[in-house]
Amino acid sequence: MKENLTDEIVQSFFEVHRTMGPGLNEAIYHECLLKEFRRRDIPFESQKRVQVAYKGEVLSRFCILDLVVDSSVVVEVKAVAEIAPVHSAQLLTYLKLGGYRIGYLVNFNVPLIKHGIKRYRNGYEP
């Protein structure tokens, strides 16, 4: 993983929120993050599909992760009144399924973005 990558990711959250503010839908914030990551030369995959298996048998369905940054950090974008336990559970499951160590759950529908960012490491919220 690139040094200071997570700092750049978080700065991107702040920049998008500073520019756009709260109150838009999730798809708009997602697209803004794509543009901000490109501006910063941060490598990412959008709408990454992750295969799911049940008892060793691969399913025809898969999970779709909002963003995977530099093949190592999962970013789930939300624009909701408040983060619910199911949102955290979703991100923790994505980390486990994809073998990722770090994940961010970011809710842009907050007055101050610092209150909308949750970081997870090794499947737990520090």
Per-residue pLDDT of the chain (126 residues; tens, 9 = 90+): 566 999 999 999 999 999 999 999 999 999 999 999 999 999 999 999 999 999 999 999 999 999 999 999 999 999 999 999 999 999 999 999 999 999 999 999 999 999 999 999 976 666
pLDDT of residue 35: 98
Residue 115: closest CA among 68, 66, 81, 64 = 81
pLDDT of residue 1: 57
pLDDT of residue 2: 65
Domains of the chain: 5-121 (3.90.1570)
pLDDT of residue 123: 62
Q: Phi/psi at 37 (nearest 5 deg)?
A: -65, -40
Q: How many residues does the chain have?
A: 126
| pTM of the complete model | 0.92
Under DSSP, is residue 110 helix (H, G, I), strand (E, B) or coil? coil
Q: Phi/psi at 64 (nearest 5 deg)?
A: -120, 115
